Structure formats: structure tokens, C-alpha cells
Copies of this chain bind each other. A is one copy, B any other.
Amino acid sequence: MQTILVIDDDESLRDTIGVMLEQEGFRAVLVEDGRQGFEKALLLKPDLMLVDLRLPGMSGVEICKQLRAAQFQTPIIVLSAIGDEVDKVLLLEIGADDYVVKPFGSRELLARIRALLRRTSPDAHKVFHFGDTEIDLDRRVVLRSGEELKVTPAEYNLLTYFLQNPDRPLTRDMILNSVWGYQSFPNTRTVDAHVVKLRQKLEPDPNIPRYFLTVHGVGYRFVP
């Protein structure tokens, strides 16, 4: 899920934007103060920022400049009040990517956000590779030699857990805790059954595991 940081001192506008963003499937983080917003940006590394030009604490212009100076690539949309003379050249200079003038329609803002994300994040598309297998986390799809493969929820969850913990031996308990959660208590043998299924679907030769290795007496290890 993509995170959007909103820095604006108008509380009701902030909330409205927040609600809208969450309806549209984004995670919205709302900040009132300029300086706090700047620090939040450094910590949070959001996928996109909406920044009011005039802010208490630290102006939107300053925020943009300093973030860019710190080599932050986060795309930024500037929100400017209706009276402000918006100088496009200035915006370019400070490293803003787009701007909208208040009052703006929510559809317009959303369209700008989507357009900017599309423009800037072809590489945000996170795809894992190993062998002839490809896992697209955004689309929640597993491809083998380009062909889409059907995987069940349990298999998919197990697979992504392996992907995120390569090379490390993982005990069955660790796997159960992380993939199944603390609440359900299936048998540890359940893990084995699902590893078998992953091997059948993803190993060149399921009888001689190459990627999903057994660590005898411990658990399993994924080697990309």
C-alpha cells in the first residue's frame, strides 16, 4: 500500500484529503506543522507528498528545497492557496513535481496523484525473481516462465515469507508465527505440506529441491 504524507495547516482540509485518500486505498499521514512534516518525511519515506506552500514552522518551499538537498526523491505536489501567485519556475526550482490551486476538486487532486505516481514509480513495482519464477507483489501474481501460476493464499503467504527471508534457516515455529499468525495453531506438519506444494509448483525438479531447502532438525531455508 502506498503512503502519502499530507502537510497542511487547515485542519478540515487535511481531514477531508485524508479520508479521500484512504477511501482510494492509500495510507494517509497527516501533519499540521511544517517542521514536523519535514521530519516525518525523512522518517516515513512516503511514496508521495502533498505540501501546502504556506505553513507554520517551515514553509512548503523550504521543505521541498531541503528534501531535495538531502537527495530525497519523493514526488511532491504543492498545494497553493487561491490568492498565491504561483510561480511555476519557482516550483520547478525547489523540486516540486506538480501543483494544484485551492480550492480543487477531489477528483482533480486524485488524478494528479495517480498521474504523478505513474510517472515516477515504474520502479516502485516490486518484483522478486529466482530461477524462471517471478513474483509481482502489487498484482499478487506468481509467474513461471511468463505463465501465471495459481497459488492459494497459504502458499502465497508462505512464499512471500521465504522471499523476504532468503538464505536464513527458518524454523517451523517461526514460519507458523509469521505466516499463520499467533492466533491459529495448526500442526507444524502443516508447514511441511505447504512446502511440498511450493516445491511442486516452483522447483525445476521437486524431488531435488534447489530453492526450498530442508535444514534437517531445524526447518527450511530459501536460497534464491
Contact = CB atoms under 8 A, between A and B. Distances in A.
Contacts of A221: 139-140
B177 A10 contact: no
Number of copies: 2
Nearest to A173: B25
A105 B182 CA distance: 19
A208 B168 CA distance: 34
A22 to B, nearest CB: 7
B215 A107 contact: no
B89 A97 contact: no
B98 A215 contact: no
Interface string A163-181: 0010111000010011001
A153 to B, nearest CB: 4
B95 A107 contact: yes
